[in-house]
């Protein structure tokens, strides 16, 4: 693999001499895996132990790499005895010099990797990964941690076809790639401190799923925007976060993360003069109409079904995404479900019965970042707990994860006034800050180019190329 600087490159040097490499965690401690099953596809892969420069050839075929307390074993299917590796981790499967993926499915097949950790779509899928695969044995744990080290442009091809589909328009995929590249550089700190990688392969970082979803269109998109990033007015890489759907209006970063992020301010995701403008900002007074009003019949927001029809959206979604009504939706939570999720996921440990849910502060997109939970405690007293972030609200109101905190709450009670259930009427999927993936898709389908799409979601940024 070609040499290049390792991330993070957060030093004010916005020009690079070579394409950087990245280290992506593809199996984490929290996945609780002690054994990894994989398939070596061709000759010239090699096994290296610890810091040794010497390596052992690996024949094509199926293998299991297993953690055995203080060491690893490498078991080849059909072999009589496993290879025992006593040297300190990491154990590395070194890719051939020229295994840079040129088509879908190239690379080592790694089975049962987790996708969507902690979200409602969580599942395991097989993934084909290029690059060098490092196997670590973290102290104090029985799990295996696997890191994929590969060139950034190769990684980004796996991101844009993991976050969305390789069937998306090229201009959208270019916009997604530039946002993803900028986010990677613009992170002020690693989301996974203390780990042998800076970023993971899942939605808390960026969804990376190897070459399985690659398409010729995606490869072309990456080539056309190679090395391009968004730079803020302060001459920093833009921390260009993004989500699946704004619901019509994007959100301020301060509402979501309680910190200012240059470039991420609330914007109306619709053509100039749209009826959506009268809801900016969304408030308690207008949110009912915003979410369910008659204006939606002629809605021209770029993330709306009138621009990206819901019966065609699965063509453009990532392979672990679920078909659904991303723009507007309603879910019902029973009293028992609320008690379970608020107890387990919002840490209201003495909750016996939910008496009421009251929304507090909202962002400009209508997303709630403060929720008051009135409840009967196990000792018989009446209490109120406060959820203080959109993330905690989405976790607390769902047994997995609520699509968005842009909601109104409709309570259903019995004749005695006891809360039986609530309908959560909502809009959008995700935190809503930065690029809207479905809105960006709608803009591309409407003929907008990548730069125009990006400038619609990020404020006071410029597009620059930092390496060739």
pLDDT of res. 198: 84
pLDDT value of residue 226: 96
Find the mean pLDDT for residues 67-86: 82
> Which two structure tokens, joined as six digits, stand for 101?
């993926």
DSSP state, residue 350: T
Sign of CA dihedral 267, 309, 207, 179: negative
Closest to 66 (Cα-Cα) out of 77, 58, 76, 74: 74
Q: Span 439-443, mean pLDDT?
A: 97
For residue range 257-290, list pLDDT tens digits in order.
999 999 999 999 999 999 999 999 999 999 999 9
- Residue 283 in tokens: 């408030």
pLDDT (tens digit per residue) in 145-164: 999 999 999 999 999 998 99
Check residue 4 and give its pLDDT. Answer: 42
Nearest to 67 by CA among 148, 146, 142: 142
Per-residue pLDDT band for 2 (boundaries 50, 70, 90) equals very low
pLDDT of residue 6: 44
Contact indicator for 291, 427 with CB cutoff of 8 Å: yes
pLDDT digits over 119-130, tens only? 766 789 999 999
Q: Are 232 and 226 in contact (CB under 8 A)?
A: no
Q: What residues contact 140, with CB distance under 8 A and at least 6 apart?
A: none
Give, for 339, the enclosing helix (H) or strand (E).
Answer: helix 335-345
CB of 433 closer than 8 Å to CB of 264 = yes
The pair of three-digit structure tokens given for residue 300, joined into one six-digit string: 């021209």
Three-state DSSP class for 292? Answer: helix
pTM: 0.92
- Distance of alpha carbon 381 from alpha carbon 368, whole angstroms: 27
**Is 70 exceeded by the pLDDT of residue 88?**
no
419 in Cβ contact with 334 (< 8 Å): no
Question: Which pLDDT value is given to residue 115?
Answer: 87
Average pLDDT of the segment spanning 330-340: 97
pLDDT of residue 54: 77
């Amino acid at each position: 693999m070609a040499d290049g600087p390792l991330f993070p490159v957060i030093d004010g040097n916005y020009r690079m001499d070579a394409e950087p490499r990245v280290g992506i965690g593809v199996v984490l401690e929290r996945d609780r895996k002690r054994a990894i099953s994989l398939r070596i596809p061709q000759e010239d892969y090699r096994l290296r132990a610890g810091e040794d420069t010497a390596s052992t050839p690996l024949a094509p075929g199926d293998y299991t790499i297993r953690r055995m307390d203080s060491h690893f074993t490498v078991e080849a299917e059909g072999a009589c005895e496993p290879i025992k590796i006593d040297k300190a981790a990491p154990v590395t499967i070194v890719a051939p010099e020229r295994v840079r993926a040129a088509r879908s499915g190239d690379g080592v097949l790694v089975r049962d990797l987790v996708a969507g950790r902690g979200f409602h779509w969580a599942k395991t899928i097989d993934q084909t990964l290029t690059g060098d695969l490092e196997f670590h044995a973290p102290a104090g744990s029985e799990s295996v941690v696997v890191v994929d080290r590969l060139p950034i442009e190769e990684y980004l091809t796996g991101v844009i076809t993991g976050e969305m589909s390789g069937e998306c328009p090229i201009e959208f995929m270019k916009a997604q790639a530039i946002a993803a590249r900028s986010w990677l550089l613009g992170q002020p700190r690693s989301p996974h401190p203390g780990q042998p990688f800076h970023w993971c392969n899942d939605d808390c970082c960026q969804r990376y799923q190897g070459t399985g979803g690659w398409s010729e269109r995606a490869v072309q998109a990456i080539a056309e925007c190679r090395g391009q990033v968004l730079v803020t007015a302060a001459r920093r890489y833009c921390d260009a976060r993004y989500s699946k759907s704004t619901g019509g209006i994007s959100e301020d970063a301060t509402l979501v993360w309680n910190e200012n992020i240059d470039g991420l301010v609330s914007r109306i995701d619709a053509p100039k003069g749209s009826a959506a403008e009268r809801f900016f900002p969304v408030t308690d007074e207008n949110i009912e109409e915003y979410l369910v009003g008659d204006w939606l019949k002629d809605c021209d927001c770029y993330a709306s079904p009138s621009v990206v029809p819901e019966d065609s959206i699965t063509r453009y979604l990532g392979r672990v995404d679920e078909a659904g009504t991303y723009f507007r939706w309603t879910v019902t939570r029973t009293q028992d479900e609320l008690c379970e999720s608020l107890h387990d996921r919002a840490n209201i440990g003495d909750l016996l019965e939910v008496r009421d849910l009251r929304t507090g502060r909202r962002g400009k997109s209508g997303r709630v970042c403060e929720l008051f939970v009135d409840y009967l405690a196990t000792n018989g007293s009446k209490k109120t707990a406060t959820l203080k972030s959109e993330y905690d609200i989405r976790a607390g109101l769902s047994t997995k994860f609520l699509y968005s905190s842009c909601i109104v709450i409709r309570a259903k009670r019995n004749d005695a006034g006891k809360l039986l259930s609530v309908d959560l009427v909502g809009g959008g999927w995700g935190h809503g800050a930065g690029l809207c993936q479905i809105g960006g898709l709608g803009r591309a389908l409407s003929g907008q180019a990548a730069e125009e799409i990006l400038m619609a979601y990020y404020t006071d940024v410029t597009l620059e190329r930092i390496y060739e």
